[in-house]
Amino acid sequence: MNLGSMARAVATFAILVILHYTLRPLLGWRAPMDFLVLALLLGSIRVRPAIGALFGLALGIVSDSLTPDALGAGAVAMTVVGYLASWLKAVFFADNLALNAFFFFLGKWVFDVIFFIVEQRLGGIELVQQLLLWSPLSAAATALAGILLLFIMKPLLEPARV
Amino acid sequence: MARAIRSTNSRVDLIVLAAAAMLALVARGLPPNLRDPVASSMRRTFLAPLVMLQERAEASRRSLLLDNERTAIRDSVSLRAMTVGALESENDRLRQLIGLGARLRWGFIPAEAIHGRGVRDVTTMTLTAGSNAGVRRLSPVISPEGVVGVVTNVDPTMSEAMIWTHPDFRVSAMSADGSAFGIMQAHAPSATTGYLMELRGIPFRSTLKPGTLIVSSGLGGVWARGIPIGTVLSEISTAEGWARTYLLKPVVSPADVGAVMILRNDRVTKGFENVWTSVAAADAAAQRIVVAGDSAARSAALAEAAARRAALDTTRRDSTAGGQIPGGLPPELMPDTLMRPPGAARTLDSAAAAARQEAARRAAARRDSARRDSAAADSIVPRSPTRGI
C-alpha cells in the first residue's frame, strides 16, 4: 500500500466514522446502518488477516467505550469480522456491486450475531427477534449505505493491488 | 517454499486473531469498577470529539421531532397573547366597577350589557337584569365612568336601555362648579367625530372652557346630581340665538360598555355626593401616603443614628475619664471589661438603651401619625364638584 492509497483509506475511514456518529443518531432508525462495520470491512480488505483482526479489536474497543456495559462485545465481533473480511478480500475485489452488497450485509449480520451473543443482554425470543428480524434489516440498511458510498466515493475506495 | 510461507503466515494470522479475540473477551469480562474508568478515560480523551458529534446529532434529532409540537405551542401562546389585552381591559373595567360598587354601597343592580349588531342597537342595549332583580322603567344606568343611559323596557329577567347616543335621550346637566346649566343630548354622529354630545341651553353669560367637566344636575328626578357626563370640547354655533351650545366628549364610550349598574329609585333620591372621585385626587392621596411614609422612615433613621452617636460619645468620655492611655486602642475597640469598671458599663448601657428607646418611641409616634394621616387621606371626602352650588 503506497502513501496515496494510505491517505485515501484514512480519509474514507474518517468520513465513515463521522457519518457513524452524526448521520446514524440523526436518523434514529430502529434498524440503523453501521458505518463502523463498513469502515472495518473496507479497511480490512486492504491488509492481512492478522492486521484486520487487530484493526477490528481497536475499532471495537473504541466503539464499545461509548456503551460501557457492552465493553468487549463489539471488540470480539469486530475482531472476527475484520479477520474474515481480510481473509475474503479476493471476493471483495470483485467489481460487482451486488456481491459487495451481499458481503456488507453478511459482515454486519455476522457482527450483530457475535455482538448480541457475547453481550448476553438479550435472551430467548428477544434475541431471536433481534438476530432474525432487526439485525438483517440493519444489515440491509448497512449494505445499501455501503453500496451508495462505494458509488459516491469510488475514487477513494480503489483497493491497492497486492 | 511458497506454500510453507503461506502456511506460516496463516498460522501467524490465526495466532493474532486468537490473541485479539482473547483480549476482547478479557475486556468483556472486566468487572464494572475496572471497565468504567477505562471507557470513561477514552470518552474524555480521544473520543471526546466523536461524543460531542453524537450528542449534537441526537439533539438535532430531538429538535426535529419536537418542532411540530413547538410550533403548536407557539401558536397557542400567540393566540392567548392576543386575548391578553382584552382580558386586561376587562379586568380593569371590572375593578373599576367593583370600586364604584364599594363607593355606592347600596341601591344598585349589577348587570351585563349585551350589544346587538343592528343599526338600532347603537342607541340601545339589552341588560341582563329585569324586574325580578328590582329594575324599573326609567332607572338610570351608569358605569364607573358616568352616565350610560336609562332603562326603557323591563322584562322579568331582562331589560332594555336607551344609551345616551339615542336621539331622544336627555339629561339635565351642569358644569362641575355649578356655573352653567343646560340639557345634554347626543350630537349627530359623523364619520370623523364619532359619538359626541351636545350641551344645549347654556345662557350667554356663562362660558365654558374646553376640558370643563359636565355632570348631571339632578333636576328632573331621574338622574341624581354629580354623575359625570362628559367634558367640554368646544362651542358650536346653532340656530338658537338665545343660548350657547357646547360640544362634549362623553366619559362613556358606547362600544366600551360591558358591565353596568342600574340604580334603584331610592338610591337616586339619596344622591351621589362624593361617589365619583377624580383620579387626580386619588393619585395625590397615594403620593401623600408615600411621602409621609418616606419622611417617617427617614426621621426614624436619623433618630437612630443620633442615638448611636450619643452612645459612642458617652463611651469615649467614660473611657477618657477612666485613664485611657494615649496612643493605645481607640475606645470603641477596647473591650468593655478592660475599658471601664462594671458600674460604668451599666451606666453606659442604660444611657444607650434609653437613647435607643427614645428614638424608637419617636419613630413609632411618627409612623402612627403617618398612618393616621394616610388613613385620614383615605377617609377624607374629596370636595365634590357639585358642593356649594
* pLDDT tens for each residue of B85-110: 888 877 777 777 776 776 666 778 88
Distance CA B299, CA B361 (A): 12
Q: Which residues of B touch A66 (CB under 8 A)?
A: 39, 43, 47, 50-51, 54
End-to-end CA distance of chain A: 8
Is the pLDDT reported for residue A130 higher than 70?
yes
Residue B112 backbone class (left: φ over 0; alpha: ψ -120 to 50; beta: rest): beta
The torsion angles phi and psi of A42, rounded to 5 degrees, stand at: -70, -25
Give the pLDDT score at B387. Answer: 38
Chain A residues 106-135 with a CB less than 8 Å from chain B: 118
Q: Which residues of B touch A81 (CB under 8 A)?
A: none
User: Is B281:B382 a contact under the CB 8 Å cutoff?
Assistant: yes
Share of chain B above pLDDT 70, in %: 66
pLDDT, tens digit, for every residue of A73-82? 899 999 999 9
Q: What is the band of B376 on the pLDDT scale with cuts at 50, 70, 90? A: very low
Q: Which residues of A touch B54 (CB under 8 A)?
A: 21-22, 25, 66
Q: What is the band of B202 on the pLDDT scale with cuts at 50, 70, 90? A: confident
Instruction: Please write down the long-range contacts of B367-376, taking CB distance under 8 Å and 24 or more positions apart.
Output: B367/B296, B367/B300, B369/B296, B370/B289, B370/B292, B370/B293, B370/B295, B370/B296, B373/B288, B373/B289, B373/B292, B374/B288, B374/B289, B374/B292, B374/B293
Look at the block and give the residue holding cell 383620579.
B279
Print burial letters for B167-182: b (CB count within 10 Å at least 16), e (below 16): eebbbbbbbbeeebbb
Q: Is B135 helix (H, G, I), strand (E, B) or coil?
A: coil
Share of chain B above pLDDT 90, in %: 5
A56 contacts chain B (CB < 8 A): yes
- Check A54 against B20: CB less than 8 A apart: yes
- Check A72 against B26: CB less than 8 A apart: yes
A75 contacts chain B (CB < 8 A): yes
- Check A54 against B9: CB less than 8 A apart: no
Q: Measured between CB atoms, which of A18, A49, A65 is closest to B42?
A: A65
Q: Is B287 helix (H, G, I), strand (E, B) or coil?
A: helix
Q: What is the band of B168 on the pLDDT scale with cuts at 50, 70, 90? A: confident
Backbone Cα Rg of chain A? 15
Burial degree of A71 (CB within 10 A; 0-12, 13-18, 19+): buried
Look at the block and give the residue holding cell 349585551.
B114
- Check A22 against B57: CB less than 8 A apart: yes
Task: Tell me the residue type at B142.
Answer: I
Distance CA B266, CA B261 (A): 14
The most distant pair of C-alpha atoms in chain A lies apart, rounded to whole Å, by: 49
Give alpha helix (H) positions in B187-278.
265-270
Q: What is the band of B279 on the pLDDT scale with cuts at 50, 70, 90? A: very low
Is the pLDDT reported for residue B277 higher than 80?
no
How far does the CA of residue B74 sit from the closest CA of chain A (Å)? 24
Q: What is the band of A162 on the pLDDT scale with cuts at 50, 70, 90? A: very low
Q: What is the band of B337 on the pLDDT scale with cuts at 50, 70, 90? A: very low
Q: List the single best residue of B16, B22, B64 to mutate versus A (max A Cβ within 10 A).
A: B16
How far does the CA of residue B15 sit from the closest CA of chain A (Å)? 8
Is the pLDDT reported for residue B383 higher than 60?
no
Look at the block and give the residue holding cell 453606659.
B348
Q: What is the band of B120 on the pLDDT scale with cuts at 50, 70, 90? A: very low
B280 contacts chain A (CB < 8 A): no
Give alpha helix (H) positions in B322-341.
336-339
Give the pLDDT score at B89. Answer: 78
Average pLDDT over residues B199-209: 86
Q: Is A125 helix (H, G, I), strand (E, B) or coil?
A: helix
Is the pLDDT reported for residue B190 higher than 70?
no
C-alpha cell at B226: 354629580
Give the pLDDT score at B232. Answer: 92
pLDDT, tens digit, for every residue of A24-36? 888 888 888 899 9
Average pLDDT, chain B: 74
How far does the CA of residue B13 sit from the closest CA of chain A (Å)? 4
Q: Measured between CB atoms, which of A50, A72, A87 is closest to B16?
A: A50
Give the pLDDT score at B375. Answer: 41
- Check B21 against A60: CB less than 8 A apart: no
Average pLDDT over residues B316-330: 48
Who contacts A139 (Cβ-Cβ below 8 Å, separation ≥6)?
A: A104, A105, A106, A107, A108, A109, A112
CA dihedral A90, A18, A27, A66 (to 10 degrees): 100
How far does the CA of residue A84 sit from the closest CA of chain B (Å)? 10
Closest CA to B212 of B260, B244, B239: B244
Q: Comparing A51 with B1, which gets the higher pLDDT?
A: A51
Q: Which residues of B touch A87 (CB under 8 A)?
A: 13
Distance CA A115, CA A74 (A): 6
Share of chain A above pLDDT 90, in %: 35
Is the pLDDT reported for residue B192 higher than 80?
no
Print burial letters for B271-281: b (CB count within 10 Å at least 16), e (below 16): ebeebbbeeee
Closest CA to B215 of B245, B251, B246, B247: B251
Is the pLDDT reported for residue B365 higher than 70?
no
Give the pLDDT score at B114. Answer: 79
pLDDT, tens digit, for every residue of A43-59? 888 888 899 999 999 99
B291 contacts chain A (CB < 8 A): no
Backbone Cα Rg of chain B? 42
Give the pLDDT score at B295. Answer: 67
pLDDT, tens digit, for every residue of B145-155? 888 999 988 88
Give the pLDDT score at A136. Answer: 93
Give the pLDDT score at B326. Answer: 45
Average pLDDT over residues B273-288: 53
- Check A50 against B12: CB less than 8 A apart: yes
Average pLDDT over residues B238-261: 82
**C-alpha pair distances (Å), A147 with each of A99, A104, B132, B152:** 10, 8, 86, 87
Q: Comparing B188 with A42, which gets the higher pLDDT?
A: A42
- Which chain B residue's Cα is nearest to A86? B13
Give the pLDDT score at B137. Answer: 87
Look at the block and give the residue holding cell 338622574.
B223
- Check A49 against B13: CB less than 8 A apart: yes
Global ipTM? 0.82
Q: Which residues of B touch A118 (CB under 8 A)?
A: 25, 28
The kind and range of the H/E element at B111 are strand B108-114
Q: Comparing B174 with B97, which gets the higher pLDDT?
A: B174
Q: Comparing B362 with B280, which gets the higher pLDDT?
A: B362
Q: Which residues of A touch B38 (CB under 8 A)?
A: 65, 71
* Most confident of the following: A18-27, B78-87, B183-192: A18-27
- pTM of the complete model: 0.45
CA dihedral B117, B118, B119, B120 (to 10 degrees): -110
- Check A62 against B47: CB less than 8 A apart: yes
- Check A50 against B27: CB less than 8 A apart: no
- Which chain A residue's Cα is nearest to B16? A50
**How many CB atoms are located within 10 Å of the residue B118 CB?**
8
Average pLDDT over residues A132-151: 91
Q: Comparing B287 with B305, which gets the higher pLDDT?
A: B305
B132 contacts chain A (CB < 8 A): no
Give the pLDDT score at B386. Answer: 39
User: Is B172:B225 a contact under the CB 8 Å cutoff?
Assistant: no
Three-state secondary structure string covering B172-183: EEEECCCCCEEE
Distance CA B2, CA A144 (A): 39
* Most confident of the following: A62-71, B128-137, B235-244, B357-366: B128-137
